[in-house]
Each structure stands twice: as C-alpha cells, then as structure tokens.
Amino acid sequence: MSKKVDDVMRLCCELSANQQIKTTVKGSSKGAVAAGGLAFAGGLVGGPLGIAVGGAVGGLLGCWMTSGQFKPLPQIIMELSLQQQQKLYEDVMAIMGDVQWTDLAQLTALVMGNTSLQQQVTGALLGYITKELQAEVHYVD
C-alpha cells in the first residue's frame, strides 16, 4: 500500500475516533426479530406472562446474535482490503483535490484545521461506509 493511501486511512481513523463513530453491518434487525418473535410466541403460549418471558429470552438471544458486530469505525477502516482502501482513498481525494502533504501529522493538521474540509472528508468516509460496506453508522454518546 502506498504511503499516501496509508496516510489517508489513518486520517479517516483519526476523524472517526474524534467523533466516536461505531458501525454495524446490517445485523441489528436479526436481534430485533428474535426478541419480537419470541415475545409473540410467548404471548400465544402463555398470555401476558408468556410475553414477558418470551421478550426476555428473545432479548438475550438477540443480544447474543449481534454481539461483536458493533465496531469502532477506525477498526473497520484498518480491516478493509487493499481494494476497499484504494476506493476510500479515491473518494477522500476527490474531496481534498490537490492538497499536498509530507507526512501524516501535516495531513491531519491540514484537515483538522479546516472545519469545512473536515466535514467534507467525514461525509465522504461515512458515505463510503454506508454505500460500499452497507453498514449502519452510530455515534457514541
């Protein structure tokens, strides 16, 4: 991987870490279906108490099914394949245009020092994550 691509990946990691962004691949719906389905089945079998028991068991099952799927965005970025990193690099460079830098520190300072550029690069990153990886984005409170 080229140094420029590596610098942009690390910049994306820095931006997403600063904003505490987590992502999940479309798996959250499985957990919700498990919780709702077991609550419904419990209600059919045991009435109101069955709903409570089915909902609790379904919630635990849903939690187990989706555990480990929520990851910090920097981790997702560093796990991208070389082709995916190249595509993200191209998306970010389309925003940054002819910005020149010598090292990661200078690139980070250039982007973090320009609020508009920072927002545009973050937008490109989030667009890539949602469109190309089909992941959901969550901001940690």
Model pLDDT for residues 93-114, shown as the tens digit of each residue: 999 988 899 999 999 999 999 9
How high is the pLDDT of residue 44?
78
Residue 16: pLDDT above 80?
yes
Sequence length of the chain is 141
Cα(73)–Cα(69) distance, integer angstroms: 12
- Tell me which residue of 4, 7, 2 sits closest to 108, measured CA to CA: 7
Reported as a pLDDT band with limits 50, 70 and 90, residue 23 is low
Tell which wins on pLDDT, 68 or 88: 88
Cα(20)–Cα(116) distance, integer angstroms: 19
125 close to 16: Cβ distance less than 8 angstroms: yes
- Tell me which residue of 30, 41, 43, 36 sits closest to 58, measured CA to CA: 36
Cα(32)–Cα(56) distance, integer angstroms: 12
How high is the pLDDT of residue 70?
67
Q: Whose structure tokens read 């910005």?
A: 99
How high is the pLDDT of residue 22?
64
Reported as a pLDDT band with limits 50, 70 and 90, residue 72 is confident
**DSSP label at residue 135:** E
How high is the pLDDT of residue 34?
62
